[in-house]
Amino acid sequence: MKILVCISKTADTTAKIAFTPDQKSFLETGVQFIINPYDEWYALVRAVELKEQYPDTVLHLITVGGADAEPILRKALAIGGDAAFRVDLQPISIEQVALSIAAHVKQEGYDLIFTGKETIDYNGSGVGGYLAGLLDWPFVSLATRFDYNGQTATVEREIEGGREICEASLPLVVSCQKGMAEQRIPNMRGIMAARTKPLQVLAAPPEAQQPAISIDHFALPPKKSGVHLIEPGNEEELVRLLHEEAKVI
């Protein structure tokens, strides 16, 4: 089995968000970047577990981004990947990311692709489905469990009010969320081995180089207003405030 895990570079959750003077891009100065947690804790670790279960498995990692994304790929290799690929492109849309990864998949050939359910920066959740559509593969989103018996994959996912269990043959794309696996921390042996594992830089395919969208500007959400405390039993005042100030009724 050949597995590809999609890795994203995201800002640490403690980072202070700011934008460039033209408000068209995120200001990265002084920001600590990490592997997107859904990619690392759930997608990557479950892939490593499958590799341990099936020793003949080949596990590759891929990201779409600049050279500054290579440290997170090295960390992912330390957790358990065999080789990594970086598509040399600074994308502004999920379309560019999906097109870049799809071109690599068509060239290399994979049986299973894992993504995180979303990135913690833009929360788009679109790459997995877009990628599956480009490849014409089945797609299961928001998976909390993945099992494989050598022929059929059984995937459990959350739905409104319960859970859904799907069965599918490979090839398959799965987006992963909490429950899929438990977090792993790279050990010293993995860190040392990651230094010599192959990391190949790929040119972006022509179809991914020109985004179909443009960014007008970014803006921070408005600051929260003050809190009104209403005495118990003063329902009329509560209704008035909801109607006149909050304007929600």
Report which of 3, 97, 210 is spatially closest to residue 86, judged by C-alpha positions.
97
| pLDDT for the residue 120 | 87
The pLDDT score that the predictor gives to residue 40 is: 94
- Give the three-state DSSP class for 4: strand
Tens of pLDDT, residues 40-56? 999 999 999 999 999 99
According to the model, what pLDDT value does residue 24 have? 83
pTM of the complete model: 0.86
What pLDDT, on the 0 to 100 scale, is given for residue 79? 95
Q: Domains for the chain: give ranges and CATH numbers.
A: 2-218 (3.40.50.620)
Q: 92 versus 13: which is more confidently predicted? A: 92
Tell me the per-residue pLDDT of 195-227, one tens digit each, with 9 for 90 and over: 999 999 999 999 999 888 888 888 888 887 777
123-139 pLDDT, tens digit per residue, is 888 999 999 999 999 99
Answer for the pair 81, 61: CB distance below 8 angstroms, yes or no: yes
Binned at pLDDT 50, 70 and 90, residue 107 comes out as very high
Residue bearing tokens 């800002």 = 11
The pLDDT score that the predictor gives to residue 178 is 94
Q: Which helix (H) or strand (E) holds 112?
A: strand 112-116
φ/ψ of residue 116, rounded to 5: -75, 160
Confidence of residue 233 (pLDDT cuts 50, 70, 90): confident
pLDDT confidence tier of residue 109, bands split at 50, 70 and 90: very high
Residue 48 burial by Cβ neighbours in a 10 Å radius (0-12, 13-18, 19+): buried
